[in-house]
Structure 1
Amino acid sequence: MGRAAERVYTDRASIQQLESLVEELPANGHVVLLLKDGSSCDGVVVTRPNVQMFRDADEREGINATVRLERPDVPEWSQQVWLDQIVRVEHLDSSMASEN
């Protein structure tokens, strides 16, 4: 397996939290992600993330996922964010904001 992650999860609660975040990150959705370290980033979700199997530094296998954000107004900018580092998702586009 070639997928490495700093953190992986095997407990049901953590996996459900990751899956819940996946549902909040639709393809082409404009979002602001508030992160555990207190920072935030905003952009458009390139594709809806999928939880996947990864291995951590200790070769422990578990679940995690990433989301890639881009900004149409800054074509050279993109950011990959691990879902387990997201505290909250704020939707800036009206379609998802009205569902929440």
Structure 2
Amino acid sequence: MGREADTVHTDPGSIQRLQALVGELRDNAKVRVHLRDGSSMTGIVAVVPTVQSFVDAHGTEGINGVVKLIDNDRPDWSAMVSLDTIFRVEHLDSVAYGTSQT
């Protein structure tokens, strides 16, 4: 993963929201993420995301994160979704804390 992101956040409220999303996106959970642009995506969380430092196109350093979604029914499909584009997470299974993929 590169250190560049379209958007970075520096205010405590936005960073706290990103961290809360990490708690909702557990390893192996099947979710539908509703995005701020009105679209949605359904998949399985491949790896629990983390918030980390990124730099935007203007050189501003801040925080964001990315979650990778996969779909066992579509092996060639995956999506990398920036956490700040997620409006809401809808859980489609009972995975609350995740399970190990090892």
Q: Partners of 1:39 and 1:73 in 2: how far apart?
A: 20
TM-score of the aligned structures, taking structure 1 as reference length: 0.92
SS in 1 for 2:6: coil
TM-score of the aligned structures, taking structure 2 as reference length: 0.91
Read off the aligned partner of 1:70 and give its amino acid letter.
I
Aligned to 2:43: 43
Contact 2:26/2:95, CA 8 A, preserved across alignment: no
- Tell me, which stretches of 5 or more residues in structure 1 are unaligned? none
SS in 1 for 2:18: helix
SS in 1 for 2:13: helix
Aligned to 1:55: 55
- Tell me, which stretches of 5 or more residues in structure 2 are unaligned? 97-102
Read off the aligned partner of 1:42 and give its amino acid letter.
T
Aligned-residue sequence identity (percent) comes to 53
Higher helix residue share: 1
Over the aligned positions, Cα root-mean-square deviation in angstroms equals: 0.8
SS in 1 for 2:77: strand
Deviating above 3 A after TM superposition, structure 1's stretches of 4 or more consecutive aligned residues are: none
